[in-house]
Structure 1
Amino acid sequence: MTSLLEAWRHRATHRQVWSLAVPMMLSNLTVPLVALVDSTVAGHLPRTQDLGAVTVGSAVYALPVWSLGFLRMGTTGFAAQAMGAGSGSALRTVQVQALLLATLLGVLISTLMMPVLPWLIGQMHSTPLMEDRALDYLYLRLFGLPAALLNYALAGWFIGAQRARTTLTLLLVTNGVNIALNLLFVLGLDWGVRGIALASAGGEWCGAIYGLWLARRAVRDTEGRVDWQAMRGWDHWRPLLMVNRDIFLRTIALEGVFFSLSLLGARMGDTVVSANALLMNGLILTAFCLDGFANAVEALCGHAIGAGNNEALRRALVVAGGWALLGSVLYALFFGFAGHLFVDLQTNLPEVRELAYGYLPWLTVLPLIGVWSYLLDGLFVGATRAREMRDGMLVSVAFYALLLWLTRGLGNQGLWLAFLAFMAMRAACMAWLGLRIRQRHAWVLPGIAH
């Protein structure tokens, strides 16, 4: 207990946590802006098919972008450890590796998706006009995919290098250009759905170019150089690729859980799935704040591990964990006392409101349970221990599936029980794995992987 209090009293760590967490909280708020701007502009076009086309097209485009999000997390840990070790060469090399991988995947996935787009859109069973508009949107939108993945890699590197404000400016440029181009292409030039797609792709490319310029500036005064000779060998790429592979599998498993919530809720009726969607927005709102502290943990713990500093690792976990716990308590109080208002702001349908009210206790408890998995994810990302993250997630998903079967007679209450138990199991698995690593004194390594 004494060591925890000493860690909490370390003022410099408090400043570090907040300097990283606040920009990342604001960055998280910008993430849904592209889709929101696109749908808002499309909603003011003359045909309903335009809005439907952008909605469907955005959903299809989000599949590869979301599934390749490991480019952000996988880069953060290695960059943070290189920063902690004071190795400018490793920091430069991580940056180049991440950008090359993002570019390769962006071009490859875009090329592979182009010929299958008609089939994908056809599975929506939409009207011919909406299908045509959705294809128009996607054919242009995919030109922005390499830039979107470059932005993931850049954001991960900036977070690991403890440049969270740079990540925020990168996202602000991306979204600002998107909004400006939407006004020009759609409202000014009347290009319709194609203009919306071009505006989004243009915003992503402007953000990527700006981010590359910032990344070049960030390493300009850094000692060392990229080890191009070593990068020609598999051994130099293996750590990054293995981490990204495991994060990808972990992410797919996690998304399967969220997809099952929508699928099983839909089978219980339109009112149930609508009520659940409103409550899950509370989870998204919670994540905006708590993920900021998790990002701080990624950067600070990775830095401490790279520097071989156990005490800094403990301080980062205690301080970030303390503030995240306080944030989760505030969210729980908000949902507990103002949950009805939260629901009412989202819908005026009386049957959906009444049903959602009955499940507010689950939403109230959710932040208090979810906070631990967020923080521990940050620790494991910073330590580049993606294999343990993957294994813990797979165990948690298996537990969730078992609970779904055992509580199948409880309807939607059973669904929420299984989901909260899944979140608790995630945290428990990660905590157990973390304690095992600590018992082996293996958190702080003698050097980084590069």
Structure 2
Amino acid sequence: MSLTLSLRSWRQAWRDRETQRKVWGLATPMILSNISVPLVGLVDTAVIGHLDGAHYLGGVAVGTALITFVLWAAGFLRMGTTGFAAQACGSGDGDGIRRVLLQPLWLAVLIALAVLVLQAPLIAAGLYFIDSSPELLEQARLYVEIRLWSLPAALANFVLVGWFIGMQRGRAPLYLLLTVNLSNVLLDLLLVVGLGWGVAGAALATVISDYLGLLLGLLLVRQLLAEHPGRLDWLAAIRLRGAAPLLRVNRDILIRTLALELVFYLLVLQGARQGDAVVAANAVLLNFLLLTSHGLDGLAHAVEALGGRALGQRNRAAFKRVLVVTLGWSLLVGVGFVLAFSLFGPWIINRLTNLDEVRAVAQAYLPWMALMPLVAVWSYLLDGLFIGATRARAMRNSMLLAVFGLYVPVAWLLRDSGNHGLWLGFHLFMLARGALLGGWFVYLWRQDSWFPKS
């Protein structure tokens, strides 16, 4: 079947009510759960920011950055699980459904244990280049030492969320993430404000919340497995027997993620050469990208699950319907963000900072972020397609080409072009991501290689 659709076929696919229902049945809960994530950061900032010393807030900021690096690097546990779960669900493989859940869960435990065992040198390395006061570094160390104990639960929750998405149960990750984030908020207020435990209380609140989320997630898993009969060889799963495809996918996604983190690091580094006001303004502007990702990620999760299920069923017609519906809504949501940022961008900036100099710089570069949703939409959607197909090698290679073949050389060439050059380079990077993945998808489809052979 050709990838090209007639106008009539596009209309028929777009008007398919069942596909529309499935897409939004998955996208809506994920968007709602994403919204709860920045809420925790706001509450953490508010409660710690009222302690009698800037080193407390600075310590939490540094500690959070170090923990986030670990968690973001381990994001392959979520992405690598979704595609395998979706395909096992689509093919009705009850044994496979259980295997693709237990193996990444065990992998998450092993990674968490390794980090806990090596925490002393890892923390020392993470704080080595932080040129701050001893008081701030002490609070950062305290925060990280406590937060690390949440890693087994936090990484396991990554796996559960990915598995639920692959199983097309969008409400389950919503319940899990809301439990984690809302309990974190309540415990922040209790331990920091009520009991006065300071930075330690903020870290402990997150630890408890992650384990509460894990407990709920396991209960939801038990209910869902009852609907899909099957058996599991526990010993073989723990030995990671037959896990080579999973490990390859996770390896490739990890490399991709590290390359992406390099881009954001260089973005901060380039901004730092231009002064404190530019660094602060760019940090404010990156919140627009965060808002965009919250909306578009929900649709990307939908195409991961539904596209992966169609692959498992070898159902080309269903796959095309999913592609048309998610592409159409992604573009509409992207246009909505462009209009919102263009109209309300200055108001958003003024809510995020009260520093006049930072406001002025951020508003000067706001047009770059107003355009970003339509530039980024392609990479978000195509990431979802490739995750659902468990084609992580293509994701890895396209990211490496976009970073080292385009972004790094462009960033070097534009190093004296100011902040406009910085944002131009970032836009070109996002366009390259989408173009490379899109070209690879079209090639695979025309070669009749997108669907696995029977």
* TM-score, reference length from structure 2: 0.94
Structure 1 residue 197 corresponds to structure 2 residue 203: yes
The total of aligned residue pairs comes to 447
**CA distance in 1 between partners of 2:231 and 2:320 (Å):** 32
Q: Greater CA deviation, 290-299 or 355-364?
A: 355-364
Structure 1 residue 371 corresponds to structure 2 residue 377: yes
Q: Deviations over 1:130-150 (max 9, x none)?
A: 332322222211111111001
Q: CA deviation at 1:230?
A: 4.8
What residue number does 1:137 align with? 143
Q: CA deviation at 1:263?
A: 0.8
Q: CA deviation at 1:87?
A: 1.0
**CA distance in 1 between partners of 2:112 and 2:435 (Å):** 35
Q: CA deviation at 1:214?
A: 1.3
SS of the residue corresponding to residue 32 of structure 1 reads: helix
What residue number does 1:101 align with? 107
Q: CA deviation at 1:122?
A: 4.4
Q: Greater CA deviation, 399-408 or 101-110?
A: 399-408
**CA distance in 1 between partners of 2:101 and 2:377 (Å):** 30
**CA distance in 2 between partners of 1:92 and 1:185 (Å):** 38
What residue number does 2:156 align with? 150
Structure 1 residue 340 corresponds to structure 2 residue 343: no
What residue number does 2:93 align with? 87
The 8 Å contact of residues 293 and 324 in structure 1, kept in 2 or not, is answered as yes
What residue number does 2:19 align with? 13
What residue number does 1:413 align with? 420
**CA distance in 2 between partners of 1:333 and 1:132 (Å):** 44
* Equivalent position to 2:313, from 283, 307, 311: 307
| 4+ aligned runs moved over 6 Å, structure 1 | none
Q: Which amino acid aligns with 1:417?
A: L
SS of the residue corresponding to residue 328 of structure 1 reads: helix
What residue number does 2:177 align with? 171
SS of the residue corresponding to residue 132 of structure 2 reads: coil
Q: CA deviation at 1:204?
A: 0.7
CA RMSD of aligned residues (A): 1.8
Q: Greater CA deviation, 371-380 or 336-345?
A: 336-345
Query: In 2 relative to 1, CA 262–232 (structure 1 residues): closer, same or farther, beyond 3 Å?
Result: closer
SS of the residue corresponding to residue 408 of structure 1 reads: coil
Structure 1 residue 424 corresponds to structure 2 residue 431: yes
**CA distance in 2 between partners of 1:64 and 1:348 (Å):** 31
The 8 Å contact of residues 59 and 143 in structure 2, kept in 1 or not, is answered as yes
Structure 2 segments unaligned to the other structure (5+ residues): 1-5
SS of the residue corresponding to residue 289 of structure 1 reads: helix
What residue number does 1:436 align with? 443
SS of the residue corresponding to residue 52 of structure 2 reads: coil
What residue number does 1:188 align with? 194
Structure 1 segments unaligned to the other structure (5+ residues): none
Query: In 2 relative to 1, CA 423–223 (structure 1 residues): closer, same or farther, beyond 3 Å?
Result: same
Q: Deviations over 1:286-337 (max 9, x none)?
A: 1110111001010100000011101111111110110110010111112223
Q: CA deviation at 1:233?
A: 6.5
Q: CA deviation at 1:352?
A: 2.6
**CA distance in 2 between partners of 1:139 and 1:373 (Å):** 36
**CA distance in 2 between partners of 1:91 and 1:76 (Å):** 11
Query: In 2 relative to 1, CA 339–177 (structure 1 residues): closer, same or farther, beyond 3 Å?
Result: closer
Q: CA deviation at 1:119?
A: 4.7
**CA distance in 2 between partners of 1:363 and 1:400 (Å):** 18
The 8 Å contact of residues 103 and 240 in structure 2, kept in 1 or not, is answered as no
Q: Deviations over 1:228-283 (max 9, x none)?
A: 46537766110111000000111111111111111101101122222222222111
Q: Deviations over 1:97-151 (max 9, x none)?
A: 1211111111111221234424533432332333323222222111111110011
Q: CA deviation at 1:200?
A: 1.0
What residue number does 1:320 align with? 326
Q: Greater CA deviation, 208-217 or 144-153?
A: 208-217
**CA distance in 1 between partners of 2:138 and 2:193 (Å):** 21
Q: CA deviation at 1:364?
A: 2.2
Query: In 2 relative to 1, CA 8–144 (structure 1 residues): closer, same or farther, beyond 3 Å?
Result: same
Structure 1 residue 271 corresponds to structure 2 residue 277: yes
**CA distance in 2 between partners of 1:94 and 1:219 (Å):** 12
What residue number does 1:400 align with? 407
**CA distance in 1 between partners of 2:202 and 2:111 (Å):** 24
Q: CA deviation at 1:198?
A: 1.3
**CA distance in 1 between partners of 2:328 and 2:307 (Å):** 15
Q: CA deviation at 1:436?
A: 1.1
SS of the residue corresponding to residue 252 of structure 1 reads: helix
Q: Which amino acid aligns with 2:67?
A: Y
What residue number does 2:237 align with? 231
User: Identity of counterpart residues, as a percentage?
Assistant: 49
What residue number does 1:208 align with? 214
* Equivalent position to 1:354, from 352, 360, 363: 360
What residue number does 2:3 align with? none
The 8 Å contact of residues 29 and 174 in structure 2, kept in 1 or not, is answered as yes
Map 1:29-48 to 2 at 5 A.
Answer: 29-48=35-54
Query: In 2 relative to 1, CA 349–45 (structure 1 residues): closer, same or farther, beyond 3 Å?
Result: closer
**CA distance in 2 between partners of 1:313 and 1:159 (Å):** 17
